[in-house]
Amino acid sequence: MIEQKGILFILSGPSGVGKGTVREHLFKQKTDLQYSISMTTRDKREGEVDGVDYFYKSREEFETLIEQDELLEYAKYVDNYYGTPRKYVEETLASGKDVFLEIEVQGAMQVKKRFPQGVFIFLFPPSLDELKNRILGRGTESEELVLNRLREARNEIEMMHAYDYVVVNDEVQRAVDKVQAIIASEHCRRERIEADYKKILEAEL
Ligand SMILES: Nc1nc2c(ncn2[C@@H]2O[C@H](COP(=O)(O)OP(=O)(O)O)[C@@H](O)[C@H]2O)c(=O)[nH]1
Ligand SMILES: Nc1ncnc2c1ncn2[C@@H]1O[C@H](COP(=O)(O)OP(=O)(O)O)[C@@H](O)[C@H]1O
């Protein structure tokens, strides 16, 4: 494995909590983070662009990527595959840049195994009622699917303990500010670790 220099940030949480919304706002404000564009087998939605929103793959192509260990993690989500390109993440981190992933919970737990030093942020709904309203409000799911997703959300919320930070997405800008604060504080922590490390090296000379 390539040595990590940049910091890997992972934003995750239940479907409909607002991961995509928070990520979009964050990237409008912040330019020194590299967003890792995921691979997916789901159909391209109107307005989406291949290589910008996702890399769209056939099921066969995706399964070949899995076999060739080209994915850092992947998950099946509502009958489609989603996955993170491994080389892009490793090479970008090795070049000293930070990488940001916005992925669902199963995938985040796989990343945790391979990159325990990553910074895991769980986006939390203000309430389950509000989560239901957001999924319904988005209008992309049938009533039955919404119930499935809410059931799934309860299981996902149980995984919260595995994360480093929890951010409540009550108001988008407030949640984005908190994510920005986490990024800044992780940089300070990294600088402190590096300073300690330098001191030890100097002491040995
Ligand atoms: N595990 C994993 N999940 C992903 C990846 N990319 C996107 N997702 C998640 O897949 C879910 C579905 O994404 P999408 O089809 O774009 O729908 P939407 O985000 O719910 O509008 C969301 O929870 C995304 O965060 C990925 O590379 N890996
Ligand atoms: N803080 C918020 N307050 C109110 N609505 C929100 C907030 N964040 C997101 N939403 C809305 O909730 C719905 C789900 O958001 P989305 O970003 O698609 O969630 P996810 O990517 O987690 O599935 C969207 O309609 C979005 O506009």
Give the ligand 2 atom nearest the CA of 126.
1
Within a domain: 68: no
Domain count, the chain: 1
Within a domain: 133: yes
CATH of the domain at 165: 3.40.50.300
Q: Please give the average pLDDT of every successive group of 10 residues along the chain, which has 205 residues.
A: 79 94 93 93 94 97 97 92 97 96 96 95 94 82 79 89 96 97 93 82 78
Q: What is the pLDDT of residue 203?
A: 84
Q: Give the Å distance between the CA of 199 and the centre of ligand 1.
A: 43
C-beta 16 within 6 A of ligand 2: yes
| Measured distance CA(182)–CA(92) in Å, rounded | 20
Give the domain range for residue 166. 8-36+97-204
Q: Which ligand is nearest to the CA of 56?
A: 1
Q: Give the Å distance between the CA of 75 and the centre of ligand 1.
A: 9
Q: What is the pLDDT of residue 2?
A: 47
pTM for this predicted structure: 0.93
Within a domain: 30: yes
Interface ipTM > 0.90: yes
| Measured distance CA(175)–CA(26) in Å, rounded | 9
Q: Give the binding-site residues of ligand 1, using a 6 Å CB cut-off.
A: 15, 19-20, 38, 42, 73, 75, 77, 82-84, 102-104, 107
Q: What is the pLDDT of residue 4?
A: 67
Within a domain: 82: no
Residue 166: phi and psi, rounded to 5, are -120, 130
Within a domain: 63: no
CB-CB neighbours of 72 under 10 Å: 23
Q: What is the pLDDT of residue 58?
A: 98
Give the ligand 2 atom nearest the CA of 15.
23
